[in-house]
Amino acid sequence: MMAAPDKSATQHLDVPWRKTFRRLLAAAGASGGQLRRSLFGLSAAAATQGLALACLVPLFSAVIADRDPKTAIAWLVAMSALSLAAIAIRWRAQGFDYSGQMSKATHDLRLRLGEQLRRMPLEKLQDRRSGEINATLLGNVDENFSYTLIVSDLIFTALVTPLVASLAVLFYDWKLGLLLLAIFPAIIPLYRWRRPVHARGRRALDDMHQRMNADIVEYVQGLPAVRAARRSGERAATLKHTFDELETLQTVEHRASANPNVIIASIVEIGLLVVVAAGVMLVIIGQTEIAVLAAVAVMVSRFAEPLATFVTYTVVIEMIEAALDRIDLLLAEKPLPRKLPERQPDGAEIRFEEVTFQYMKSNRPALENFSAILPPRSLTALVGPSGSGKSTIARLLLRHADPQHGSVRIGGADVREIRQEKLNALTSVVFQDVYLFDDTVLNNIRMARPDASDAEVESAARSACCTEFIEKLPEGWRTRIGDVGGKLSGGERQRLSIARALLKDAPIVILDEPTAVLDSQSERAVQTAIDALVRDKTVLVIAHRLSTVAGADRILVLDEGRVIESGRHAELLAANGRYRAMWDIQSQTRRWRRAEDALATK
Amino acid sequence: MIRRDSPWAIMTPVNDRIRLAMIFSILGGMANLGALGLVALALASLISAPEEAPWTFLCGALVCTVGSYALRIASFNTSHYAAYHLETLLRMQLANHLGQIPLGRIQDFGAGTLTKVLHDDVRALHVFVADSTPLYARAYAMPLATFAVLVWLDWRLAVAAICVLVCGFGVLALAMRNFPEMVRRYNDAREQVSAAVIEFVQAMPVVRTFDTGHSTFGRFQRALDAYLAVVTEWYRGAGFSARFSLSVLGPLPTLLVLLWMGTWLVFRDTLDISTWLATLLIGVGMAEAMMPMMTLNHMVDKTKLSIARIREVLDEKTLPEPATPPGPAVADASVAFEHVSFGYEDGSVALDDVTFHVAPGTVTALVGPSGAGKTTVARLIARFWDVGEGRVRIGGVDIREMETDALMGQIAMVFQDAFLFAGSVADNIRLGSEQATLDEVIEAAKIARAHEFITQLPKGYDTLAGDRGVLLSGGQRQRITIARAVLQNRPILVLDEATAFTDPENEAALIDALSSLMQGRTVIMVAHRLTTVRDANQILVFEAGRLAEAADHDALIEKGGVYARLWTSGDAARNWAVGGVQEAGPE
């Protein structure tokens, strides 16, 4: 009997709610069963509360009409028992929150999402926008669900309790009971009608917020230029315009959603009062006991506001739905496919075979039909203008993404046939920008090989020319990076990352513009460190400055995703082609032109 | 009055509207009580005269009911519109303030943090300002009013009802004793989760290259475990008292107390039925009306962090402006540092007693290892901060005596990261010289060696630039900002690593462009690479915040000091090649 009213209530309310319910249970993972029990418990508690309230009718009959203390007390006891039962059931159901199951469920979900981020192709993760979205999702996943029980309870109490109480009134007085029940079908279509309006408004607001965020980012980042141009504050016209536009949109959207609120409130509150008025008429014509009417009036006084306002809580459900959408989207991302059978690379030879690759959001290939062989222990350099495909080659080797065409092989094995962990172990990378963790200096280096001893870490750091500056730090090797992060120079950070790579001692080394942004002094130290790193390794260097790679075994000159020249430095100079032109420009631009030269070229 | 440090102070700009919303809310509650009272009167009249229809009372109840929800919705709307307006006001105030505080402080905060304050933190106020204010008003006013009416109806039942309320709140208060401490611990754990998440996502490329098992996942996992422990402890600790007070403050306990006691009193004939019904209609909601306070306090606590961050930005001191703007006129385009010392907020000394003079129309290069103070010098000229001791003069005038706009009118700056906003290329060049015609823009672009590539863009000068426009290379973006500086035509030019991020082919064009821009201007340029500075009229060599040497290239080399040493090691660096074997270096 308790489950029945609940079921009809959920059926009356939109079908999507049932879908949301199922998805919510799925998101709760192992705790799904408990969450289901808890939600059923809450609706059962609401129903029991309705039954308790329904006891008012016989109670009032006993007190007002019959003046029968015995029956009155019997009904009072029954009502007290039902109330206690309702409280006890709700108490138990809320245990999902209070005994920490909810936190555990969101914790597990967060770990699941984290695990997913770890497996999904880096190309997708590195897209800035989706990166931000995923970070927010991962950060707020518990906030999204923490109100589930509270809101469910509010909605159940607003809907199920009056419904059950009204059904019970039918037994005593079918006319009043029917009148009460007539209110419910009136609310549902209104809710359905309000929902799309609401969803549309939300989307428009989301877009607007995104635009405003972009404007704010632009303003804050551009402040030096904006101020130099005397266009800050009140004079930042675009920004002011965007703020005003947001307020206008917020106001319009609020008004649009406020109108249905007025209508729903009118129907519920006036409707319930009409029921009372009709009851008064029925009493006057002798069709209804005054005791029944009094009981209905007291019940109605409890129902009116929750029924009139429960619609506003449904916003929270929409919030939960939005979070579920994004979770599904993230969980749907597939990791890069493995090709079976698994193969072990034999040696450190790298081979690109007719590789063509295009980024997801690009309309032209970043790399076209690229083939190259990097023999073991050789040094290969990639040069060319920005956007020519140099970094793409490194990314494909690291398997941030798979090429649409062709294959990348290490030691004979296609990278798709190599286990990801194994592949990770094969390569060390030194990027232009170094990511350091908020941990000690020692641990930052050690992450390259967690089982390395302190002595091994220190030896790697020594080879990377780090010892000197590390020992000057306030707490030496135990200094937390977070405490000094900003004070380490680019060169020092770079040397730490080289120390990591040295410790890892992988057979393949990728250097991505490692000395591009350093000052002359740091540059020297970093160079020494790199010299230590590349010894006896298969090395791939990406460089803007050609002199850096003049000693390479082979230089590949790239332009628009194709190799246009290749060979040793001397051969390329002699060929008098693109490389030669670049070399000449670089030799020249080392000096500023004197004023008169500048005038002469004008 | 509201204390300045109370979270409520943030609403000051829209105080009137919020107050109105609260008044509406209270009046709405009163109207609701009135409606219930009139229904009680209707029932009473029906009991005393069963044939007579109590239309007056019922009509009154209808009016009160309509008034009640109309006021409730009006209150809700008023507070929402006020909250929206507050967002606009605060954001504008923040944007304005950022335009007046030292630029150095803006860099200390970081663009990410400031964006978060302007966007997310201001947005986070909504729940507090819009949703909670009407509820607060009602949660305070309604129980009081209800109690007064109950006492007037029947003091015994009033006492019984208030006992239920006191019992619920007593337990709640007991539970809240450790609340601030728990909130603090919760927020700490939460911040650590945020940091771990950001690290986890941002560092993923690095993590992957070292990911040979599960070890690197550990940092993320540890932060999450700590958070789970705090949250679980909190929930378990609050479990009994929270559920108990929720149960007691719900409508059932009050209803039962009023029913048991009422029934008893009615049968003893010391209470008439009509009064009893009236107390039931009016009194049952008394405890429930206070319930929002529990959730509201929690909401306000969450908002407090956002408010604190907004305040922190608004409390930053603005750069002092001269008493009589625009201040004295500058004599020429010379720049002078006189015994300038400067230290950052964290106490580190950046410049120590630096003195030099740059004659109008000459080129001065600032060199030295990173952290030596050269960038600080460049930024002090543009008043990113004010000096600690000594003074910076432009054309003989202390820059602190100049109005910011007047100072900016003297200086053009080209930074290493070129800033383009989302407008057209032409508008980007026009920034700061909005009145310039398209011909003037094109002329400036030609001088900046930008005209050629701009005309090849899909819509030429009307192409949208910036993050939301076409992708331009670093060198191209830089040349657009140089065209901007050409158009701004200011006598002093400050270059801060203007060529750092460009590839060689772009660098040639860029250096051409800068060379044109430098014509006839006083130039101060920060350089990491020594090769770009040897033709400067004056080279200032910095070391650990002090000016170590100052002369031109040849004199400095001859002197054999710091500069000569840097130059030699620079030579080695320039000729270095990965792997060590190199056939012939350039130059």
For residue A130, what pLDDT is reported?
A: 60
For residue A135, what pLDDT is reported?
A: 67
Domain that holds residue A275: 3-332
What integer is the mean pLDDT of A178-192? Answer: 80
What integer is the mean pLDDT of A464-492? Answer: 79
Confirm whether A483 is domain-assigned.
no
Q: Same structural domain for residues A208 and A291?
A: yes
Q: Same structural domain for residues A212 and A357?
A: no
Instruction: State the Cα–Cα distance between residues B13 and B17, nearest whole angstrom.
Output: 9
pLDDT in tens, B57-107: 999 999 999 999 999 999 999 999 999 999 999 999 999 999 888 888 887
Three-state SS at A339: coil
Three-state SS at B204: helix
Q: Are A53 and B256 spatial neighbours (Cβ–Cβ below 8 Å)?
A: no
pTM value is: 0.80
Whether A273 and B61 lie within 8 Å, measured CB to CB: yes
Assess whether pLDDT exceeds 60 at residue A3: no
Whether B585 and A281 lie within 8 Å, measured CB to CB: no
At B229, the pLDDT band (50, 70, 90 cuts) reads very high
pLDDT in tens, A124-151: 776 655 666 666 777 677 777 888 888 8
Q: Same structural domain for residues A418 and A505?
A: yes
Query: Could you tell me which of B228, B226, B305, B195 has the C-alpha nearest to residue A142?
Result: B228
B231 to chain A, any CB pair closer than 8 A? The answer is yes
- List, as ranges, residues 417-446 from A with C-beta within 8 Å of B: 420-422, 424-425, 427-429, 431, 435, 437-439
ipTM, interface predicted TM-score of the complex: 0.83
Confirm whether A227 is domain-assigned.
yes
Q: Work out the mean pLDDT of chain A and round it to a whole number.
A: 83
Is the pLDDT higher at A163 or at A494? A163
Instruction: State the Cα–Cα distance between residues B378 and B388, nearest whole angstrom.
Output: 15
For residue B424, list its beta bridge partners: B464
Assess whether pLDDT exceeds 60 at residue A592: no
Instruction: State the Cα–Cα distance between residues B127 and B305, nearest whole angstrom.
Output: 13
Q: Same structural domain for residues A317 and A359?
A: no
Q: Are B59 and B39 spatial neighbours (Cβ–Cβ below 8 Å)?
A: no
Instruction: State the Cα–Cα distance between residues A545 and A473, nearest whole angstrom.
Output: 32
Assess whether pLDDT exceeds 70 at residue A316: yes
| Boundary (domain end) residue, out of A332, A363, A387 | A332
Q: Same structural domain for residues A266 and A358?
A: no
Contacts of A475 (CB under 8 A, 6+ apart): none
Q: Same structural domain for residues A295 and A401?
A: no
Instruction: State the Cα–Cα distance between residues B509 and B515, nearest whole angstrom.
Output: 10
Q: Is the dihedral of CA B277, B279, B282, B285 positive or negative?
A: negative
Inter-chain Cβ pairs, chain A and chain B, closer than 8 A? 466
Confirm whether A296 is domain-assigned.
yes
Option in B66, B95, B238 nearest A219 (CB): B95
Confirm whether A100 is domain-assigned.
yes
Q: Are B548 and B542 spatial neighbours (Cβ–Cβ below 8 Å)?
A: yes
For residue B470, what pLDDT is reported?
A: 59
Nearest chain B residue (CA) to A63: B263
B216 to chain A, any CB pair closer than 8 A? The answer is yes
For residue A486, what pLDDT is reported?
A: 61
- DSSP H or E stretch at residue B200: helix B179-202
Chain B nearest C-alpha distance from A582 (Å): 7
Burial class (CB in 10 A: 0-12, 13-18, 19+), A436: buried
Option in B100, B508, B536 nearest A585 (CB): B508
For residue A13, what pLDDT is reported?
A: 45
Confirm whether A418 is domain-assigned.
yes
| Angle between the N-to-C axes of helices B251-267 and B273-283, in degrees from 0 to 180, rounded to the nearest 10 | 170
Tell me which chain A residues have a C-beta less than 8 angstroms from the C-beta of B238: 98
Whether B210 and A517 lie within 8 Å, measured CB to CB: no
Query: Total domain count for chain A?
Result: 2
* Pairing label, strands B538-543, B363-367: parallel
pLDDT in tens, B128-155: 899 889 988 998 899 999 999 999 999 9
Option in B66, B251, B578 nearest A539 (CB): B578
- DSSP H or E stretch at residue B65: helix B55-98
Instruction: State the Cα–Cα distance between residues A522 and A531, nearest whole angstrom.
Output: 14
For residue A407, what pLDDT is reported?
A: 93
For residue A151, what pLDDT is reported?
A: 87
- List, as ranges, residues 275-294 from A with C-beta within 8 Å of B: 276-277, 280-281, 283-284, 290, 293-294
Q: How many CA atoms lie within 13 A of A504 on its CB side?
A: 32
Instruction: State the Cα–Cα distance between residues A111 and B221, nearest whole angstrom.
Output: 8
Output the 3-class SS for B450-506. CHHHHHCCCCHHHCECCCCCCCCCHHHHHHHHHHHHHHHCCCEEEEECCCCCCCHHH
For residue A131, what pLDDT is reported?
A: 62
For residue A265, what pLDDT is reported?
A: 84
Q: Which residues of A66-93 are buried (b: 16+ CB within 10 A; e: fewer)?
A: eeeeeebbebbeebbebbbbbbebbbbb
| Angle between the N-to-C axes of helices B155-175 and B218-249, in degrees from 0 to 180, rounded to the nearest 10 | 170
Lowest-pLDDT range, A536-550, A560-574, B450-464, B572-586?
Answer: B572-586
pLDDT in tens, A516-571: 656 656 677 788 888 888 888 899 998 877 878 888 899 999 988 899 999 999 99
> What Cα–Cα distance (Å) separates residue B332 from each residue in A492, B283, B406, B462?
42, 82, 14, 37
Q: Assign residue A556 the CATH number of its domain.
A: 3.40.50.300
Q: Are A135 and A350 spatial neighbours (Cβ–Cβ below 8 Å)?
A: no
Q: Choose from B57, B209, B501 for mutation: most chain A CBs within 10 A.
A: B209
Contacts of A489 (CB under 8 A, 6+ apart): A519, A522, B370, B371
Confirm whether A449 is domain-assigned.
no
Q: Same structural domain for residues A104 and A207?
A: yes
Q: Same structural domain for residues A260 and A376?
A: no
* Pairing label, strands B335-343, B349-358: antiparallel
Contacts of A248 (CB under 8 A, 6+ apart): none
Chain A nearest C-alpha distance from B280 (Å): 7
Q: Same structural domain for residues A408 and A536?
A: yes
Assess whether pLDDT exceeds 90 at residue B319: no
Dihedral, CA atoms, B322, B326, B332, B334, nearest 10 degrees?
A: 30
| Boundary (domain end) residue, out of A303, A332, A361 | A332
Whether A270 and B66 lie within 8 Å, measured CB to CB: yes
At B458, the pLDDT band (50, 70, 90 cuts) reads confident
Q: Same structural domain for residues A296 and A399?
A: no
| Boundary (domain end) residue, out of A332, A359, A390 | A332
Confirm whether A487 is domain-assigned.
no
For residue B338, what pLDDT is reported?
A: 95
Q: How many CA atoms lie within 13 A of A430 on its CB side?
A: 38
Q: Same structural domain for residues A279 and A401?
A: no
Lowest-pLDDT range, A504-513, B198-207, B535-544, B555-564?
Answer: B198-207
Q: What angle do CA A156, B257, A300 make, to 5 degrees?
A: 40
Chain A nearest C-alpha distance from B328 (Å): 19
What does DSSP assign to residue A431?
-
For residue A540, what pLDDT is reported?
A: 92
What integer is the mean pLDDT of A44-64? Answer: 95
For residue A415, what pLDDT is reported?
A: 92
Instruction: State the Cα–Cα distance between residues A35 and A319, nearest whole angstrom.
Output: 18
Q: How many CA atoms lie within 13 A of A271 on its CB side?
A: 21
> What Cα–Cα distance (Å) separates residue B278 from each residue in A62, A72, A163, B484?
18, 19, 24, 77
- DSSP H or E stretch at residue B239: helix B218-249
Cis preceding linkage at A341, omega within 30: yes
Q: Which residues of B513-538 are buried (b: 16+ CB within 10 A; e: fewer)?
A: bbbbbbeebbbbbbbbbbbbbbbbeb
Q: Are A455 and A488 spatial neighbours (Cβ–Cβ below 8 Å)?
A: no
Structure tokens at B330: 């500058």
Q: Same structural domain for residues A311 and A391?
A: no
* Pairing label, strands A508-512, A367-374: unpaired
Confirm whether A508 is domain-assigned.
yes
pLDDT in tens, A256-297: 877 777 888 888 889 999 999 999 999 999 898 899 999 999
Assess whether pLDDT exceeds 50 at residue A9: no
Instruction: Show the DSSP H helices in A173-286 as ranges.
Output: 174-221, 223-228, 237-284
For residue A99, what pLDDT is reported?
A: 87
Q: Assign residue A11 the CATH number of its domain.
A: 1.20.1560.10
Q: Are B347 and B388 spatial neighbours (Cβ–Cβ below 8 Å)?
A: no
At B211, the pLDDT band (50, 70, 90 cuts) reads low
Whether B232 and A104 lie within 8 Å, measured CB to CB: yes
